[in-house]
Structure 1
Amino acid sequence: MRIRGMRRSVAALAALVTVGGCTAQAVDVNSGQSRPIRIDVTATPNGKQGGEKPAGDTQDGDKPGTTAPSTSSTPPATPAPPPRTLWSRGDKGRDIREVQARLRQVAWLYDGPTGEYDDLTVQAVRGFQGKRGLPPTGETDSVTWARLLKMTREPSKWELYAYGGQPAAAPDPRCMTGRVLCISKTSRTLRWMVGGRTLTTVDVRFGSQYTPTREGVFTVYFKSRHHVSTLYDTPMPYAMFFSGGQAVHYSSDFAARGYYGASHGCVNVRDEAKIAQLFAQVRNGDKVVVYW
């Protein structure tokens, strides 16, 4: 009876595991000797606990009886690099137009994109930075630019060039000989060309859909320095007529409103100094080409 009871005790002890940490003592049911075992309580991907591993087993070159170094420690965080300046006062180009167009979208800049990082742009960037807790330097650095990108959308071509400055389109082949006012509706520019060479380029504005500017090849037939429209009773300084009542002339409205307005069919120029130079150089009989 004593031996039979001892066998029951051994069987019970073999099934008993005390999980106090990573190891426990159990009795081998075959030899009756005790040996240490390691209990892996790490959850497996299917949610079940892992199986047993004898304490003497080693993996990856671990020495018996030692604990493998932890691989779950988080390395020290690398400090973020300081913001780098992308654009600042005095910079020019298409990228500056995009900065300005995006600032207009969030109502920090009201003037149209000019392509020049001027005082108004500095003030707008400084206000945008201060509102969001960034150093108000007025320079567009990498952090400011990333924040502005998140808050805005890609500007359309209209938004980028709403106030002009678009690169002039390639000259029409009909502009390559003689003395020509070469006018592109696509880029909204006028080239003054002589012998295929561009001497001057200016922004221009055209008529609305109800009073469109005619397209084709014309000639300058009449010039009037201080002209006033008999139809609309409005000034048309430096007028160079090429098709009926349509002329190339200076427009103070274009200078003030940009492309948010339109002419009654004429080709408006907003740079008074340049139109004055053109008026002095262009002669009656010079060619005018209006094209898309």
Structure 2
Amino acid sequence: MAWNLSACRGLVCGGVRGAVAAAAAVVLAAGAATGCTPRTPVAGDGKAPARTAPATASRSGPPSRHGPAAAAGGATRPAAQRPSRPSTAPRPAAPAPVMAAGHRSAQVRELQARLRELGLFGRAPTGYYGSVTTASVRSFQARRHRAVTGSVDPGTWAALRSLTRQPSRAALYPPTSRPLPRTDPRCRTGRVLCISKSSNTLAWMADGRVLAAMDVRFGSQYTPTREGVFAVTFKSRHHVSTIYRTPMPYAMFFSGGQAVHYSADFAARGYAGASHGCVNVRDRAGIAAVFARVRPGDKVVVHR
């Protein structure tokens, strides 16, 4: 029988191809069973893509806060909070006060006169910085919205000086420790010893004009000084009380045994004491000058 070579070759090729196909099927089946997938050729170059090795964590220790994980925004453990230390920088020292409690000087007298001009110091300047001056300074500082310390710092002193006038000698050394009150109408004419119980002052006046003034005190509640309009009955330069056996220098009697006179006790103890009804004066030189000018018959007005 004659063989057709072409047909034979086709049979051989077909058998070979069939065997190849069968082997490929077996390989695919084995791959599916093991979970592997064949590499797929990349169109254009006939090569399979290179595998990328998975990133692995370093075994030398935990990832650094500044390493790749931190750069990628991964959570990192915050550093321990350290307590803040107080600042050791020195604070600027407060300016030293110009004047403060306990000081005694001519400048303190000026301070008191300036406060008195503003109605914040109700007494005559004394030159001593005590509790009354401290309270007056505190009041001024509160009004000017400054630190209320009671001491006069450079800023407080500058502010006070800008709001007041330079005190005159009469303002620095007034004749009475308290301001004279409004003149009583009965004291506005003639020569009058005008005496106020509310202000504890005596004003020697002529036709409504004050010629001299001084501090006075009065009798106690058991021996009060009488009030009203009187006249000087007589004068006694070196008088001594016949009842109490006490000196009454420069006495000017105006109502029975009551008189205006100098009192050493008033000069020594101030308002801690009282008279037996007389008007005590503590300024010896002042009352001596008035005594020399007053005449019997001059009017005496004692009022509230």
Q: Tell me, what secondary structure is at the counterpart of 1:240?
A: strand
Question: Would the aligned equivalents of 1:93 and 1:116 in 2 still touch at CA under 8 Å?
Answer: no
Secondary structure, counterpart of 1:268 in structure 2: strand
Structure 2 counterpart of 1:204: 216
Residues of 1 paired with 2:282 and 2:235: CA distance?
A: 18
The one of 273, 277, 293 equivalent to 1:261 is 273
2:97 to 63, 72, 84: 84
Q: Which residue of 2 aligns with 1:117?
A: 127
Q: Which has the larger radius of gyration?
A: 2
* Equivalent residue number for residue 258 of structure 2: 246
| Distance (whole Å) between structure 1 residues aligned to residue 197 and residue 265 of structure 2 | 19
Give 2:302's aligned residue.
290
Q: Distance in 1 between matches of 2:65 and 2:245?
A: 98
AA partner of residue 274 (structure 1): G
Shift in CA distance, 93/291, structure 1 to aligned 2, threshold 3 Å: farther
Secondary structure (helix, strand or coil) at the match of 2:274 reads: coil
What is the 5 A alignment of 1:19-168? 25=69, 35-37=73-75, 78-86=91-99, 89-91=105-107, 92=109, 95=112, 115-117=125-127, 142=153, 165-168=177-180
- Structure 1 distance, partners of 2:292, 2:223, is 28
Between the aligned partners of 2:63 and 2:246, the Cα distance in structure 1 is 98
Distance 1:38 1:189, change over 3 A: farther
Q: How far apart are 1:81 and its partner, in Å? A: 3.4
**Match for 1:218: what amino acid?**
F
Residue of structure 2 in register with 1:222 after alignment: 234
One-letter code aligned to 1:89: S
When normalised by structure 1's length, the TM-score is 0.54
> How far apart are the structure 1 equivalents of 2:290 and 2:273?
23
Give 1:258 deviation, angstroms: 1.2
Structure 2 residue 282 is the aligned partner of structure 1 residue 270: yes
Q: Which runs of 5+ in 2 are unaligned?
A: 1-61, 116-122, 131-150, 155-175
**How far did residue 269 of structure 1 move?**
0.8
After TM superposition, give the deviation of residue 84 of structure 1 in Å: 3.2
> What letter matches 1:90 in structure 2?
A
Measured at CA, do residues 209 and 199 of structure 1 come closer, stay the same or move farther in structure 2, by a change above 3 Å? same
Q: Please identify which structure carries the higher strand content.
A: 1
CA 1:94–1:283: 2 relative to 1, 3 Å: farther
Aligned equivalents of 1:220 and 1:177: distance in 2? Answer: 16
Instruction: Report what 2:206 is aligned to.
Output: 194
The percent identity for this pair of structures is: 55
Q: Could you tell me which amino acid in structure 1 is paired with residue 106 of structure 2?
A: G
Alpha-carbon distance between aligned partners in 2 of 1:170 and 1:75, rounded to the nearest angstrom: 61
Q: Distance in 1 between matches of 2:63 and 2:259?
A: 98
The amino acid of 1:282's aligned partner reads: V
Deviations 1:228-281 (A, max 9, x none): 212112111111111111110111111111111110000011111111111111
SS in 1 for 2:275: coil
Amino acid at match of 1:269: V
> How much does 1:35 deviate?
4.2
The structure in which a higher percent of residues are helix is 2
Q: What's the TM-score, normalizing by structure 2?
A: 0.52
State the SS of the aligned residue for 1:225: strand
Q: CA deviation at 1:23?
A: 10
